Chain A
Amino acid sequence: MADPLQPLPEPVRKDPQKKTRSALVPPLARSRLGMRLGAQAARGRFHLQHCDSCEFIVWPPREACPSCLSDLQWRAADPHGRLIAETTLETSPELYFRERVPWRVGTVKLASGVPVMAHLHAHCRVGDRVELRLFLDKADRAVFMAFADTNSPDLREDIQLRELTNDPRHRRVLITDARSPAGVALAAAMTDAGAKTVFAGVAESWKRDAAIERLEGMNRVSVVPLDLTDTRSVEELCGEIGGKVDILVHNAEHVRPGGVMTGRGIADAKQLHDKLVFGFMRLAENFGPVMRSRGADGVNSATAWVNLLSVYAHANWPAYGQHSAAHAAALSLAQCLRGEMLGSGVRVINTFAGPLEQDWHDSVLPPKVTPERLARDIVAGLLAGQQDLYIGDVARDVAERFEDDAKLLEMELAGGGQ
């Protein structure tokens, strides 16, 4: 049993005479097949290439089976293996690692016999049986990390793991719509996960309600004015706290039933898009650049931009057609933001949910996602370093159908399905 890790140092206040460290990233170059491994990691999967003819697992990714030239299938693989060699990098020509050495890496022989290179959690020793996980690194490229025990209580103290995840501990979190049930649950979940401060964005503070009182009563939660439909409000808040936001959780919602022909009209649709689409742009224009500049700013560097999206961003659900359309636009903007953030060390995370347990989905049958479930899964996603997260049965079902056949999903939804 390895000695427990020292707790991560509490971030100290910055020395104003010192330059903020540049947000360097590990090597970006990957083949398209290497990127495909990243696409698995982005969704929290441990999928490797299999040859069905030879019953081999193939590593590294290839175009065809090196033995029989058959096509290869990406499928879930057994992530367990044994650490057979390790080394500690003391220097590196790569700028990213040069700033972070010493850095432990090793070779893990998977149960299938395939050897892979992996980053090592501090507890791993040569000869240990280990579990491999796939992560996206700061360049959003796939890497393996090996763990001796994924349940060890000091797991999160590992500095190499912290580079691969988006751990809220010691970090400051902005929740863009904290007044909503999901916002209140997120504030609680983030402080439980060790966030140093939660900035709880509240629009129209002249409308008092129980949610504001709950937020005001929480430790380490600071209620701040933020109206996503008001450019000046977003600018002003960013001016105040922009440099202190390490994780931005954009959870604003505006659920309304109705479609294009049978909807509630342009005035209503404008309000919907103003909040969900232009609200996203206002946040990105203001908070985006300052977060991008702080991607390597110590233990509490800027690390994640989390969007809460409807799974019907992938394919329109006509019963809530306008809402789906606004989320489709928001998803597209989120993909754009991901491109703009690449190389900054700030991960753009999209979380997709089906109908939520809230007033505007009261005529939708369960299963529905509760605010607490949503918040718990978002925190879990941050700790796992995932890029795309599907929360609840409906979201996962829709995502599977979308991946299987997007056209079929569209036809099913148009036919009155959910």
Chain B
Amino acid sequence: MTSKKPQADTIRLLADLATNLVSGDVQVVDLTHRLDPDFPIIVLPPEFGQCAPFRMEEISRYDERGPAWHWHNISLGEHAGTHFDAPIHWISGRDLPNNTTDTLPVQKLVGQVCVIDCEAESDADDDYEMNVAKITAFEAAHGMIPPQSWVLMRTGWSRRSGADYINLQADGAHSPGPDAAAIRFLVEERDIIGFGTETVGTDSGQGAHSDPPYPAHYILHGAGRYGLQCLANLDKLPPTGAVLFAAPLKIRQGTGSPLRALALVP
């Protein structure tokens, strides 16, 4: 990228932002769950490979292994905890350029965010699927989703924990998500950067039975868009007007990464 001289108004803009962060007029909201060994991870049939949950081993604790310092080794799957999905995660996105955590354009990792409130519907139905009508109703109330923004689906699911969060039954997990047409609409008609959820995946718990299977993963990543899951505190974001920071770790050829997702809220 060629460097260009910053315009005076953008310099002022960032200075104002910094001032407002200090004063608290702009709030930073943490959208992240604590990385915890007990936090549920996606459950696949046991004959498939499994994502490793978060684990932590002590290296030393001011003891004979290191007298003045305390530190840990950690291990976890790329898709454990609150995490980011890169396009290479799904087969539909495997041949796209810049589709891994180390190559994707960082300019897209900060952007405006629209939050669609589906809490009432998700309370009423664990298998609620957000459709195009729900999105257009959101736009009727809050304006059209701007191009190159993030869209988050608020379900209240992050307030659940343990068995209620993953909500496993004999026929698989039951949790809300978008339907295929809604994701296609967001990608093709609204040109979003990415889509995020409070649940363990961007797809609904029963998403394997949709057409295509796992439509959010298939469509988002096939079009080079990103996914966020296991988000928290979406009820602290306004429907529009917040700015999302969603930067994954720069893992070589990474398919995703846990992250500290933050939002700036007016």
Task: Assess the A207–B55 pair: CB atoms within 8 A.
Answer: no
- The answer on a CB contact under 8 Å between B40 and A206 is yes
A206 near B163 with CB under 8 A, answer yes
Given A230-B37, A264-B49, A271-B50, residue A206 in contact with residue B55 (CB < 8 A): no
Please count how many residues in chain A sit with their CB below 8 Å of the partner chain's CB atoms: 17
By beta carbon, the residue of chain B nearest A225 is: B38
Q: Contact: B163 with A232, CB < 8 Å?
A: no
B166 within 8 A of A: yes
* A216 at the binding interface (Cβ < 8 Å): no
B166 touches A206 (CB 8 A): yes
Interface positions of A from 205 to 236, Cβ below 8 Å from B = 205-208, 227, 229-233
B43 CB within 8 Å of chain A: yes
Contacts of A231 in B (CB 8 A): 55-58
- With A227-B37, A230-B37, A233-B37 as given contacts, are A205 and B163 in contact (CB-CB < 8 Å)? yes
At the interface, yes or no: B138 with Cβ under 8 Å from chain A?
no
Cβ 8 A contact of B168, one of A207, A230, A270, A271: A207
Most chain B Cβ neighbours within 10 Å, of A206, A229, A271: A206
Cα A227 to Cα B37 in complex, Å, equals 9
Q: Residue-by-residue, is B43-58 near A (CB-CB < 8 Å gives 1, otherwise 0)?
A: 1000001101101111
Q: Which B21-40 residues have a C-beta within 8 angstroms of A?
A: 37-38, 40
| Contact pick for A230, options B49, B55, B165, CB 8 Å | B55
Identify the closest chain B residue to A233 (Cβ).
B37
CA distance A83 to B50 in the complex (A): 62
Q: Given A268-B49, A271-B50 in contact, is the A208-B168 Cβ separation under 8 Å?
A: yes
Interchain CB contact under 8 A, B168 and A265: no
The reply on B162 being an interface residue by CB < 8 A is: yes
- A206-B56 CB under 8 A given contacts A264-B49, A268-B49: no
How far is the CB of A243 from the nearest CB of chain B, in Å? 23
**Complex Cα distance A45/B40, Å?**
48
Q: Are A207 and B43 in contact (CB under 8 A)?
A: yes
Chain A 314-355, CB-CB to B under 8 Å as 1, else 0, gives 000000000000000000000000000000000000000000
- Check A2 for interface membership: any CB of B closer than 8 A: no
Whether B38 pairs with A206 at a CB distance below 8 angstroms is yes
Question: 1/0 per residue B76-110: CB within 8 Å of A?
Answer: 00000000000000000000000000000000000
Q: Is A365 in contact with chain B by the CB < 8 A criterion?
A: no
Query: Once the chains bind, are A229 and B55 in contact (CB under 8 Å)?
Result: yes
* Contact in complex: A267, B57 (CB < 8 Å): no
Q: Which residues of A contact B166 (CB under 8 A)?
A: 206-207
* Chain B residues within an 8 Å CB radius of A229: 53, 55
Q: What distance in Å separates the Cβ of B190 from its nearest Cβ neighbour in chain A?
A: 35
Q: How far is the CA of A231 from the CA of B56 in the complex (A)?
A: 7
A229 to B50: give the CA distance in the assembly, Å.
Answer: 14
Task: Find the A residue at minimum CB distance from B162.
Answer: A206
Within 8 A of A (CB), among B155-205: 161-163, 165-166, 168
Chain B residues in 8 Å Cβ range of A207: 43, 163, 166, 168
> Who on chain B is nearest to A254 by CB?
B46
Q: Which residues of B contact A232 (CB under 8 A)?
A: 37, 56
User: Whose C-beta in chain B lies nearest to the C-beta of A359?
Assistant: B46
Task: Report the separation of the CA atoms of residues A373 and B55 in the bound assembly, to the nearest whole angstrom.
Answer: 35
CB neighbours (8 Å) of B163 from chain A are: 205-208
A270 vs B76: C-alpha distance in the bound complex, in angstroms? Answer: 12
Q: How far is the CB of B51 from chain A (nearest CB, A)?
A: 9
A268 to B44, CA, bound (A): 14
What are 29 A-B pairs with beta-carbon distances under 8 A? Answer: A205-B162, A205-B163, A206-B38, A206-B40, A206-B162, A206-B165, A206-B166, A206-B168, A207-B43, A207-B166, A207-B168, A208-B163, A208-B168, A227-B37, A227-B38, A229-B53, A230-B38, A230-B53, A230-B55, A231-B55, A232-B37, A232-B56, A233-B37, A233-B38, A265-B49, A267-B49, A268-B49, A270-B52, A271-B50
Extra pairs beyond A206-B162, A208-B163, A267-B52 (7, CB < 8 Å): A205-B163, A206-B161, A207-B43, A207-B166, A230-B53, A231-B56, A231-B57
Task: Please report A residues at the B interface, Cβ cutoff 8 Å.
Answer: 204-208, 227, 229-233, 264-265, 267-268, 270-271
Could you list which residues of chain B lie within 8 angstroms of chain A, going by C-beta atoms? 37-38, 40, 43, 49-50, 52-53, 55-58, 161-163, 165-166, 168
7 closest A-B pairs by CB: A206-B162, A230-B37, A206-B163, A206-B40, A208-B163, A206-B166, A231-B57
